[in-house]
Amino acid sequence: MNAASRPDAGPIIPGFHPDPTVCRVGDDYYLACSSFEYFPGVPIFHSRDLVGWTQIGNALDRPSQLNLPPTTPSSGGIYAPTLRHHDGRFWLITSNIPHGGTLLFNTEDPAGEWSDPVRLPDVPGIDPDLAWDDDGVCWCTFAGIGQVRIDPRDGSALEKPRRIWSGTPGATYPEAPHLYRIGDLWYLLIAEGGTERGHGISVARGPAPNGPFEPCPANPILTHRGTDDPVQNTGHGDLVQAPDGSWWLVFLGVRPRGGSPGWHVLGRETFLAPVDWVDGWPVVGAPGTLPAGADGPGSLPVKERDDFDEPNLHPRWISIRNRPAAAVSLAEQPGWLTLRARGASLDELTVTFVGRRQQHHSVRVGARVDAAAGRGGLAVRLDEQHHYAVELTGGRVVVRARVGPLSQVLAERAAPAGPVVLGIRTLATGPSPDHPRQEPDVVQLGYEHPRDGFVTLAELDGRYLSTEVGGGFTGRVIGMYATEGTVRVDWYEYERLDP
């Protein structure tokens, strides 16, 4: 394999970017991820080396494409897309749970406008996949593991769905299927074991798209269960072949920290591993291996700042369920992001919120906020029941925390005059064998004082904003919100503090 090793096995797309799916067109790779209850949905990335990825857009950036009504629960919404290129077009199939069912989109330019959805009412469940045979027939395989031939132009089924493989005996939740023609055989890659510590990837092969399928004797071909590897919950992968003939696997994993049982706070992230072929079966290598010519694990700068001077928000900015123009504006006061309140607190499903995924364990986030005509601030959010916030209200700086059914004001102080720079810092903890319940990180919330510098009003245990505590399928998002009147944001800065 034409590849080079690297000392770490960090993610190629860090932070809440789960269920990766990838395809190659010439020398260009394109990758998409699940987005759940956030709008716009399905981030699209581009790379030339499978390691350095740039977000070029979101496939679902219009209400006509993505219906997430207030009844959509957190960790509902858009599940597990599959991205493919066929006959000169890009195709993306996904599920909107529980409202939209299976949806199919297409475009000629993945960085441009995607079509409105074609609905597939005869494709049940989640995790749909697309594959075309030599006759141009489109096969849709889905969690279960079931399959049906479809017409992608109108979404109609050409037959009744049928079960084609149940996965490894004794394993749970066969899902995330991807079907590939490789040589003379068809390979069916699936995830098993649930998306927690038991997660893994298995494979089977057969003579036709519908089998019969023979399981690999070495299944699972990837899992970190029962190991002390710093990357856990590995699974839900997709294969891609590089121009030099080498094969690679993108897959999800988490980086738990702290004591037992370990808490992951960034969500499920996207990783990369090499694949060799032995006796006609894929063998997954160490994630610390890079394609030849790749420079390093990812391309995120140390510091990113948004001054809100552009006519549109960068595609990394996401909101909860929707983003009405009446609630979020860059034009109302040029150079400022204007937020108008809808929900009265971060506990509500309709709150006005604009944030970006937390992508590193130790970060410093600041935002210059003017809340003279309202109430709002800066929050780190897992869901409606798990969030910390520092806000401006009535001339005061207030820190609020919500953990499950408990909600509390933890600190407050008179605010400096004028717009205030609010701040959140997350500081990852190191290993501590004498502290079996060591928190994964500490979250500091405060503000910049013109004379005293950064003032920490509260320092909180980060485990309560983790998936192991809050549940679900997402990760932390840090952003601005308004819960009363109008709140304006001059700038937002995200700085990675990790070594």
Contacts of 273 (CB under 8 A, 6+ apart): 222, 248, 249, 251, 284, 285, 286, 287, 289
Element (H, E) at 467: helix 467-470
The secondary structure of 121-149 as a DSSP string is TT--SS--EEEE-TT--EEEEETTTEEEE
Half-sphere exposure of 311 (CA within 13 A, CB side): 0
d(CA 135, CA 216): 27
CB atoms within 10 A of CB 431: 9
Element (H, E) at 470: helix 467-470
C-beta separation of 491 from 367 below 8 A: yes
Q: 175 an active-site residue?
A: yes
Question: Which has the closest alpha carbon to 171: 154, 146, 150, 192?
Answer: 192
Q: What length is written for the chain? A: 499
Question: Which has the closest alpha carbon to 249: 159, 309, 176?
Answer: 176
The secondary structure of 292-320 as a DSSP string is TT--SS----SEEEE---SSS--TT-BEE
DSSP 36: B
Given 19, 127, 129, 238, which residue is catalytic? 19
CA angle, 63 then 64 then 70, to 5°: 45
Given 37, 49, 175, 439, which residue is catalytic? 175
Place of tokens 């030099």: 244
d(CA 324, CA 445): 29
d(CA 12, CA 313): 23
d(CA 163, CA 145): 6
d(CA 33, CA 466): 20
* Alpha-helix runs per DSSP H in 267-400: none
Element (H, E) at 468: helix 467-470
Question: Max alpha carbon distance in the chain (Å)?
Answer: 73
d(CA 43, CA 58): 4
DSSP 263: B
Pairing of strands 386-393, 363-383: antiparallel
Active site residues: 19, 175
